Chains A and B, each alone.
Chain A
Amino acid sequence: MEFRLLETGFNDAFSNMAIDTAINTLHKPEDPSTVRFYGWKPIAVSIGYFQSLKEEVEDEKCREKGIDVVRRLTGGGAVFHEKELTYSFVCSEKSELVSKNILESYKKICNSLILGFKHLGLEASFAPLNDIVVGNQKISGNAQTRRNNNVLQHGTILMEVDVDKMFSLLLVPDEKIKGKMIENVKQRVTSINNQLNRKVEFSEVSDAMKKGFEENFNTELVKGELTKEEIELSEKIRKEKFSRKEWNYKR
């Protein structure tokens, strides 16, 4: 069966997380699986479901700079979203597209991106549990949740990375070693621009990733739109969950 492709452009962090949630909530086994490509405007920090916002993020500084901070539905670490393509993928847990085994399903979905990177001229590989690397440097981080009998996986594809800026917004457990941590992350993280030595466009990356998903799942991604129900539910979830302190500061 064909997949639905959503290109929802640039939205704020609360809308972005609400849209992923609404797609995952309303998805039925008979519906086509969905691939969504999106970006963040304003730039944003997302934290993992189990993290403490107060312990991870310079939230006052983010507020002053107009940077959104949002808790994700998915586990994992804090992510600074600036120059990247973000994707989300939703399918039924009952479908045979991905394994019930979580590690296997990460590997399967991430393979779409690895094939996409190939179209950009990059040799990438899967680094369990949830990263994609070029050489030994991370270029994509991914996170998955399973709710309502559906699989939701979303992740970042780094087009450019500014580690100093990222760490100016994140808290580290030990200030004394912050400098060392930053140097360490600079060694371990890369980006498409970095690897290709040129500036790629958002659309160039999304075109490549579209092909990657098509090849990986042996299907076609057909451009679609959010349904009326999805839009209404995402607006409700944005208002009642992701934009609220009760959610973002819950741990």
Chain B
Amino acid sequence: MIKKSVYKIPEGKLVKISLDFEEKKINSVRITGDFFLHPENGLELIEEGLQGTELEKDSIIKLIQKTIEKNSLDLFGLNPEGIADAILKAKGENNGI
């Protein structure tokens, strides 16, 4: 099932999520928005890191943090918790941007 969300990260940017999931598992997720992330290929690493993971806030946050630390990513306008909230918003909502 593919669902979408638009989520304004508190004190941050507007993040858009396209989430492909089944039951409680993420098949794939695409994160778009007007934030900054250095180096830029880090966003794809975050997305890849979330494939197959449980749709649960803490595990999503931990996985994102792991990717950030491993690749020394710098994020501006978004953060792991904001991304997690945006993903969970997509899960819980009807498809509609």
Majority secondary structure, A binding face: loop
Chain A interface: which of B32-40, B63-71, B87-95? B32-40
Report B-chain residues with C-beta under 8 Å of the C-beta of A75: 34-37, 40, 76
Report A-chain residues with C-beta under 8 Å of the C-beta of B9: none
Select B74's contact among A49, A78, A102, beta carbons within 8 Å.
A102
Instruction: Count how many chain A residues have C-beta atoms less than 8 Å from C-beta atoms of the other chain.
Output: 23
Majority secondary structure, B binding face: strand
Cβ of B61 within 8 Å of any chain A Cβ, yes or no, is no
Q: Is the CB of B36 within 8 A of A76?
A: yes
Report A-chain residues with C-beta under 8 Å of the C-beta of B33: 48, 50-51
Q: Could you tell me the distance between the alpha carbons of A55 and B5 in the complex, rounded to whole angstroms?
A: 12
Residues 23-52 of B, flagged 1 when their CB comes within 8 A of A and 0 if not, give: 000000011111111111001000000000
Closest residue of chain A to B4, judged by CB?
Answer: A55
Cβ of A146 within 8 Å of any chain B Cβ, yes or no, is yes
Report B-chain residues with C-beta under 8 Å of the C-beta of A51: 32-34
Report B-chain residues with C-beta under 8 Å of the C-beta of A129: 36, 76-77
Report B-chain residues with C-beta under 8 Å of the C-beta of A77: 34
Distance to closest chain B CB from A48 (angstroms):
5
Cβ of A13 within 8 Å of any chain B Cβ, yes or no, is no
Report A-chain residues with C-beta under 8 Å of the C-beta of B43: 50
The winner among B6, B16, B36 for most chain A CB atoms within 10 A is B36
Could you list 9 further interchain pairs (A-B, Cβ under 8 angstroms) beyond the known A50-B31, A50-B34, A146-B38? Answer: A48-B33, A50-B43, A51-B32, A52-B32, A75-B76, A77-B34, A102-B74, A103-B76, A145-B39
